[in-house]
Amino acid sequence: MGITGLIFLSSGLFLGWSLGANDAANIFGTAVGTRMVKFKTAAIVCSIFVALGAVISGVGAAYTLGSLGSVNAIGGSFVTAFAAAFTVYSMIKLGLPVSVSQAVVGAIIGWNWFTDSVTDVNSVIKIASTWVACPLLAATFAAVLYFVTKFLFGSLKVHLLKRDAYTRAAMILTGAFGAYSLGANNMANVVGVFVPVAPFADFTISGFHISAIQQLFFVGSVAVAVGVFTYSYKVMGTVGKGLMPLSPFTAWIVVLAQSLVLFIFASEGLEYFLASHNLPTVPLVPVSSTQAVVGAVIGIGLAKGAAKNIQWSVVLKIICGWVISPLCAAVICFFALFFMQNVFNQTVFIPKTYIMSEKVYNKLVEEGYSGSKLTLLKGEKFTSGTEFISAVENRLGKLTPNQEQQVLGTAEWVKIYIDPEKIENLDSNLFTPLQIDQIKELSGRRFNYRWELQNALIAISSDWAYKPETVLNKQHNKLIAQNIRIIEDTFIVRDRPRKKFFRSE
């Protein structure tokens, strides 16, 4: 990796540092604030398990935010990560635990705004809904756990000293679980924007294949560890003592409730279990551990009937931070992209092209759109998503968010070449040997539309096709969409960017 790669990746490391400084407080803040766990112990455990979660389970979540906006140039990735990191850092300076996820979402929307890309409204609503559900669910869990464990401890009549010892051990174990979940769910927020342009190469050591994305996630986890050790103590004080005085017992309840919420919003196995029993499912998106822990503290306070002891002024400041952080990140990202592109002469995005070719026209007609109304657009070429959607809506009328994404995905012109030498770069943890063999059958072929690639795979095996949208097929369709996206990112031929201001060695 040259100097250019290091410079651009530095903003991702800055965001990783911010995650460590901010979210470690959510994992161990209550434990450290009640003096049940030493800060050094909490920092070591948190750092180790965040790294394990990121490398072992985090890769599959790398494309979670892809539907919201795909940053397709390393200069844009640098600015997007920097805008989110700077926003989080500013809030940390104020002693406010904020959501890294919210800052990243805001920065991506800022990138969409600058590049004239269409933001998927459904994705925004889906992600934003967790910002409400997460603290409410954590508060509910904390209240229920408080009553259940209080009853159990009362029935068992555990000695106070033993109870404290058990609580301290439980805090460390639960914190380790929470840190693992944090790494698995949120590392994609830290370096996810760099995945399409990861400045690493796959390699194999002692029979273990280490992918570029795993290396990227490990580097991000190291930055998180530095943030934990250097700056998380201040925010731990806000979470551990600023909201409400907590006993060691209630502090453990908070950590457990927060860890369970992270698990629920990340577990595909739980989602399948609920769906198979016709129960409501929880959207699998990276959620804010900040919101979870604040909700849990409030839940404990309400369960104890000690609402008056909750520092509602602190709660209000934290909520204001949640509202302000995505807005600030979006604005900072927009103006920073302008300066990066026009002052430093860097490529911050690769323009997308949408062509109403004969193939696209026929495809849209097959999908139920009016051919007579779209005829006038045949042969037209558009250089931005908003321009293309505006032209289509002038003919068809207002489109729903789902229709917008369908039309954009059908008409986007790309250059995909199945390079035989790149097939080995596909992560064996995400593709089965049979799937890789099927991809090899396409070696040497070129595609100009994403859906052409999927149709070619379906011609080889119907397993690449989406199934009717039911709760039981949801997992299959999600996995197919993820794998198709990875194949596209691996084999897409990107236009040569403009001359760089920085030179790589």
pLDDT digits (tens, 9 = 90+) for 374-383: 999 999 999 9
Q: How confident is the model at residue 34 (pLDDT cuts 50, 70, 90)?
A: confident
Separation between Cα atoms, residue 387 and residue 382, nearest integer Å: 7
- Which 8-state DSSP code applies to residue 400? P
Q: Does position 240 have pLDDT exceeding 60, yes or no?
A: no
Separation between Cα atoms, residue 462 and residue 13, nearest integer Å: 41
Separation between Cα atoms, residue 435 and residue 447, nearest integer Å: 19
pLDDT of the residue at 456? 96
Distances (CA, A) of 271 to 267, 283, 466: 6, 8, 18
The vertex-44 CA angle with 39 and 46, nearest 5°, equals: 90
User: 68 vs 240, which has greater pLDDT?
Assistant: 68
Please write down the long-range contacts of 208-216, taking CB distance under 8 Å and 24 or more positions apart: 209/428, 211/59, 211/425, 211/427, 211/429, 212/425, 213/59, 213/62, 213/427, 214/55, 214/59, 216/191
- For residues 251 and 41, the answer to whether their CB atoms sit within 8 Å is no
Average pLDDT taken over every residue of the chain:
82
The vertex-99 CA angle with 108 and 284, nearest 5°, equals: 75
Question: What confidence tens digit (pLDDT) does each residue in 280-336 have?
Answer: 777 667 777 778 888 998 999 888 887 777 878 878 877 888 888 899 999 999 999
User: 276 vs 377, which has greater pLDDT?
Assistant: 377
Separation between Cα atoms, residue 422 and residue 429, nearest integer Å: 16
